[in-house]
Amino acid sequence: MAVYQIVKIGEDILREKAIEVKKITPNIIKLLDNMAETMYEAKGVGLAAPQVGVSKRVVVIDVGDGLLELINPMVIKKTGSEVDEEGCLSVPNKTGRVKRAAEVVLQAMDRNGEMKEYHADGFLARAMQHETDHLDGILFVDIADKIYNV
């Protein structure tokens, strides 16, 4: 496995709509493995493929409950709202107050091509929304009502 360099704000790929994964190939599996290793090495809780310079709709998340690998994730339902602070590996030294849905239902394929449905709230729901935003070229600084230097 390998640790990728994390792309920082200002790079074009972070503003592009990532490409749907049509087929799960050995390269996609390798991407998932390397993204997870990169996320853990950087002490993050989520990482989207564009953040490592790859325009694919692939996300890894671990908020402390185990690794989730999400291929072509789609938030299909949002309920409630809450405001909390977020940071991002691609936006170093900044945090922001971001309003997000309190609960989400998300569908995605796993590494075996099996479609899964996830019901999440709290920190996991926030992480899912943050990472899927990356796949559409949206950064938390675009939607934060207040940004702080840290």
pLDDT digits (tens, 9 = 90+) for 76-102: 999 999 999 999 999 999 999 999 999
Q: Are 116 and 107 in contact (CB under 8 A)?
A: yes
Apex 36 CA angle, 32 and 37, nearest 5: 120
Is residue 58 a known part of a binding site?
Answer: no
Is residue 119 a known part of a binding site?
Answer: no
**Domains of the chain, start order:** 12-149 (3.90.45.10)
Q: What pLDDT does residue 1 have? A: 81
Residue 116 to residues 72, 84, 87, Cα–Cα distance (Å): 11, 27, 27
Please give the positions annotated as active site.
131
* Residue 49 pLDDT grade (very low, low, confident, very high; cuts 50, 70, 90): very high
Q: Are 47 and 131 in contact (CB under 8 A)?
A: yes
Q: Record the pTM.
A: 0.97
Q: Are 67 and 60 in contact (CB under 8 A)?
A: yes
Is residue 148 a known part of a binding site?
Answer: no
Segment 106-125 shows an average pLDDT of 98
* Residue 148 pLDDT grade (very low, low, confident, very high; cuts 50, 70, 90): very high
Q: Which residues pair with 117 in a beta bridge?
A: 107
